[in-house]
Amino acid sequence: MNERASIQKTGLSQERLGRLSSVLHGYVERGEIPGMVALIHRHGEEAYVETIGWQDREAQIPIQRDTLFRIMSMTKPVTTVAALMLVEEGRLRLYDSVDAWLPELAHRMVMRDPDGSPEEVYPSPRPITLHDLLTYRLGIGWGPSSLWSHIFALFPYPPHLEQTERLDPDAWMARLSALPLLYEPGMRWLYEVASDLLGVLIARVTGQLLEMVLRQRIFEPLGMGDTSFVVPPDKRDRLAVLYAKTATGELTVADHPRSTGWAEPSLFPSGGTGLVSTADDYQRFGRMLLGKGNLDGVRLLSRKTVEAMTTDYLTPEQHTHPFFEFDRYDADRSGMWTNRGFGYGVAVRTRQVGLGPSIGSFGWPGAFGTTWIADPKEDLMATLLLQVGSDNPFYTQVGEDFVTLTYQAICD
């Protein structure tokens, strides 16, 4: 396709996208990132795809378009969509208590001081609702508190990555129910636990394993054949090696396909972090949301549901709270919620920063460098997948460059 024809179809300049390629190749050439896959659609057309570097740097196995990546927190929007499908079917209600399905959360006690004694508590003034779970404001989760170590110990990491205790969903719920809430429901945004609870809720409401629900309701209809909680033996050779960075910036192997923690089904399939996927699969998921719930004639959600999912529900006061101890989230070093809000399982742009994304754009990254952005105003969906653990997945230099150089290529 020549430059003029490409611009007419996608509104993106191939010449300017060449700048994006040069910058991404630089990360691999400098040894900062072993390899990555980048994929962009605009106006429903594939506008850019690039595979750079190594799936396995030590064995010199090139990365491929169908390389499998551990997408970690990019699982959260998928679990959210499954929950919203149950709302659309009338099997769950947004503002009803979840006590009937999650009785372990009933009659919660709230700490008088989140940094104080867990013995100093009072009864929660109201029950936890599905809306609280979807907006991460149920009252317990990751964030500064005297219970931080106890809450983080419940994180259902795959084997070999962390030596946390292995619990099935019922045992996990029992352990969580032994802890008081840090805040009253609706008061404070707290990370992670809500999405894992959503996974348990979905399984109990449907009477099916979470992976079966996601496969039957989302993956199979959208043609996401490579997305799952486990990497079977016949796909193991497509799984990227996971790397971690040392204090000096060197890359070390953290998870290898030969001994991967994703080789066997987990006791606790995490609705927050468990999935493995490919660039093409996740692009289809994001394009479905960009299409207001519809992709290629397959409708998973209504337009109104997607609009609800991508609305900022944080109060002005909640926008002032930092997200963990991170000190930067954007190129302008602003805080997490300065230019973003939070909908159902996704962050939503509330103010444009620099070259983009536009107001109303949404997405959520993964801890191992994966990221995506859906921009309704520009009719754009972009995914970047790599496998290097980051101490701040919400701002990485490669992610910032990917966004900036994608938006500078817009020329219509």
- Cis-peptide into 357, omega within 30 deg: yes
Considering the domain architecture, whether residues 102 and 57 belong to the same structural domain is answered as: no
Torsion from C-alpha of 98, 181, 107, 73, nearest 10 degrees? 20
> 3-class DSSP state for residue 46?
strand
Beta strands of 95-218 (E only): which ranges? 109-111, 121-123
Question: Can you say whether the dihedral through the CA atoms of 127, 211, 168, 67 is positive or negative?
Answer: negative
Considering the domain architecture, whether residues 103 and 138 belong to the same structural domain is answered as: yes
Considering the domain architecture, whether residues 37 and 185 belong to the same structural domain is answered as: no
Residue 326, token pair as written in the block: 């991170």
Q: How many domains does the chain have?
A: 2
Decide: 35 and 28 in contact? Cβ < 8 Å.
yes
Burial of 163 (0-12, 13-18, 19+ CB in 10 A): exposed
What pLDDT was estimated at residue 295?
A: 98
Does residue 217 form part of some domain?
A: yes
What pLDDT was estimated at residue 390?
A: 78
- The CATH number linked to 93 is 3.40.710.10
Does residue 231 form part of some domain?
A: yes
Considering the domain architecture, whether residues 230 and 174 belong to the same structural domain is answered as: no
What pLDDT was estimated at residue 220?
A: 98
Does residue 318 form part of some domain?
A: no
Considering the domain architecture, whether residues 198 and 107 belong to the same structural domain is answered as: yes
Comparing CA positions, the residue from 204, 358, 215, 376 lying closest to residue 287 is 376
CA separation for the pair 31, 14 (Å, rounded): 26
Considering the domain architecture, whether residues 187 and 277 belong to the same structural domain is answered as: no
Does residue 320 form part of some domain?
A: no
Pick from 172, 206, 240: which residue ends a domain? 206
First to last CA, the chain: 17
Burial of 191 (0-12, 13-18, 19+ CB in 10 A): middle
pTM of the entire predicted model: 0.95
Which amino acid belongs to residue 235? K
Other C-beta atoms closer than 10 Å to the C-beta of 113 total 12
Contacts by 227-230, CB closer than 8 A, 24 or more apart: 227/78, 227/275, 227/276, 227/277, 227/278, 227/281, 227/282, 227/285, 228/275, 228/276, 229/262, 229/265, 229/266, 229/269, 229/270, 229/274, 229/275, 229/276, 230/262, 230/263, 230/264, 230/265, 230/266, 230/276
> 3-class DSSP state for residue 409?
coil
Considering the domain architecture, whether residues 248 and 291 belong to the same structural domain is answered as: yes
Does residue 386 form part of some domain?
A: yes
Considering the domain architecture, whether residues 178 and 250 belong to the same structural domain is answered as: no
> In tens digits, what is the pLDDT along the chain, a chain of 412 residues?
566 666 779 999 999 999 999 999 999 999 999 999 999 999 999 999 999 999 999 999 999 999 999 999 999 999 999 999 999 999 999 999 999 999 999 999 999 999 999 999 999 999 999 999 999 999 999 989 999 999 998 988 766 566 567 889 999 999 999 999 999 999 999 999 999 999 999 999 999 999 999 999 999 999 999 999 999 999 999 999 999 998 888 999 999 999 998 998 888 999 999 999 999 999 999 999 999 999 999 999 999 999 999 999 999 999 998 876 555 556 566 678 889 999 999 999 999 988 889 999 999 999 999 999 999 999 999 999 999 987 777 778 999 999 999 999 999 9
Written as one string, the DSSP assignment of 326-372 is ---SSTT---TTTSEEE-SSSEEESS--TT-PPTT-EE---TTS-EE
Pick from 206, 232, 265: which residue ends a domain? 206
The set of residues, in sequence order, having a beta carbon less than 8 Å from that of 161 and lying 6+ positions away, is: 254, 255, 261
Does residue 392 form part of some domain?
A: yes
Beta bridge partners of residue 191, listed in sequence order: 142
Considering the domain architecture, whether residues 62 and 94 belong to the same structural domain is answered as: no
What Cα–Cα distance (Å) separates residue 205 from each residue in 194, 218, 341?
16, 17, 29
What pLDDT was estimated at residue 316?
A: 95
Does residue 331 form part of some domain?
A: no
What pLDDT was estimated at residue 307?
A: 98
What pLDDT was estimated at residue 331?
A: 59
Pick from 206, 228, 243: which residue ends a domain? 206
User: The domain containing residue 402 runs over which residues?
Assistant: 3-69+210-297+356-407
Angle at CA 229, nearest 5°, toward 308 and 84? 15
Considering the domain architecture, whether residues 286 and 147 belong to the same structural domain is answered as: no
Considering the domain architecture, whether residues 253 and 362 belong to the same structural domain is answered as: yes
Does residue 306 form part of some domain?
A: no
Decide: 140 and 195 in contact? Cβ < 8 Å.
no
CA separation for the pair 286, 383 (Å, rounded): 9
> 3-class DSSP state for residue 374?
strand
Considering the domain architecture, whether residues 144 and 279 belong to the same structural domain is answered as: no
